[in-house]
Copies of this chain bind each other. A is one copy, B any other.
Amino acid sequence: MKFGFIGFGEVSYTLSKLLLALDFEILSSIEGRSQKTIDLINSLDLTLLDSFKDVAKESDVLISANSPDIALDIAKNYGNLTNGFFLDFNNISPKTVFEIEDILSDDKFIDSAIIGRVNSDELNIYLSGSKAQFLLDKIKKEIGSKGIDINKMDFKINVKLISDKIGDVSKLKMLRSSYTKGVSALLVESFELAEKLDLEEELWEILSLTENRDFERSSKSRIDSSKKASKRRYEELVEVLYFLDNVDNVDESKIMARATKDKFEYLKNRENKE
């Protein structure tokens, strides 16, 4: 069973490393890649083909883990060429997911996501689609036939099948995004106001009493990335809201999500001015 990767970033690198440890053959290509990506690819024991078209043709499982804006084109250009399954791990909206389903049909396409951190100690993979269970069983069987006990590896891959419906993984990502980015927006706002009152340290302390133990560290990282990536967060929230408007057309059902979008728009514009 051969896994092919179109593009090669952080997600592809981590997935490849884990799949290599499980003794799978990994296909990719350095066609048109930057020197940085070529170095990354060369650090692993991959099978390199001349072109991504060849990768698509020879893969049993073709993985697209790139950026949202090229996800649809990759599905069109390479998903159509493969005889294997096509897994999209990009951060795309349900709308784009359904467009890909239209192109490839759910016989081939599996809606996929990594939730939480992408690292090689523990990885949480979510799948939906009519063939997701079939693919999972096939992979497990092949791992078993090699005599590999996956529980004894020094990493953990948690794979969760959400449903047999394409789009459900992507919907979950939207809901998650709406919540976590809302918390980030709240954090930015509360601590900027606390700063004005010279009560920042004290606010960290009293919130840590009732929030989680790791609250200050994890929240500071949320604030930091919210400010740094405010433009991208804003764009993601535009997508989230577009999606939520279809879920519920009552304005009051989206007060917090809309405010989160407005907050990131403000942070984005403020950042531009500085």
A190 to B257, CA, bound (A): 9
Q: Are B259 and A206 in contact (CB under 8 A)?
A: no
Question: How far apart are A103's CB and chain B's nearest CB, in angstroms?
Answer: 24
Of all chain B residues, which has the CB nearest A115? B206
A178 to B199, CA, bound (A): 14
Each complex incorporates copies of this chain amounting to 2
Q: Which residues of B contact A116 (CB under 8 A)?
A: 206, 209-210
Q: Which residues of B contact A206 (CB under 8 A)?
A: 115-116, 124, 126, 172, 176
Q: Are B210 and A190 in contact (CB under 8 A)?
A: no
Q: Are B197 and A175 in contact (CB under 8 A)?
A: yes
Q: Which residues of B contact A202 (CB under 8 A)?
A: 162, 168, 172
**Contact for A248 among B115, B117, B196, CB less than 8 A:** B196
Q: Are B171 and A197 in contact (CB under 8 A)?
A: yes
Tell me if A2 is interfacial: C-beta within 8 Å of chain B: no
Q: Are B172 and A256 in contact (CB under 8 A)?
A: no
The 8 A CB mask of A210-227 against B (1 = contact, 0 = none) is 111111000000000000
Tell me if A57 is interfacial: C-beta within 8 Å of chain B: no
- 138-191 of chain A: CB within 8 A of chain B: 160, 162, 168, 171-172, 175-176, 178-180, 182-183, 185-187, 189-190
Question: How far apart are A205's CB and chain B's nearest CB, in angstroms?
Answer: 7
Q: Are B193 and A244 in contact (CB under 8 A)?
A: yes
Tell me if A252 is interfacial: C-beta within 8 Å of chain B: yes
Q: Are B196 and A175 in contact (CB under 8 A)?
A: no
A151 to B171, CA, bound (A): 51
Tell me if A203 is interfacial: C-beta within 8 Å of chain B: yes
**Contact for A183 among B186, B214, B247, B266, CB less than 8 A:** B186
The 8 A CB mask of A81-95 against B (1 = contact, 0 = none) is 000000000000000
> What 8 A-B pairs come out closest when comparing CB atoms?
A212-B212, A259-B259, A252-B266, A182-B186, A179-B190, A255-B263, A189-B256, A116-B209
Can you name 17 A-B pairs with beta carbons within 8 Å? A115-B210, A116-B210, A124-B209, A172-B199, A175-B190, A176-B207, A178-B186, A179-B207, A185-B256, A186-B256, A189-B254, A189-B255, A189-B257, A192-B248, A193-B244, A193-B254, A252-B263
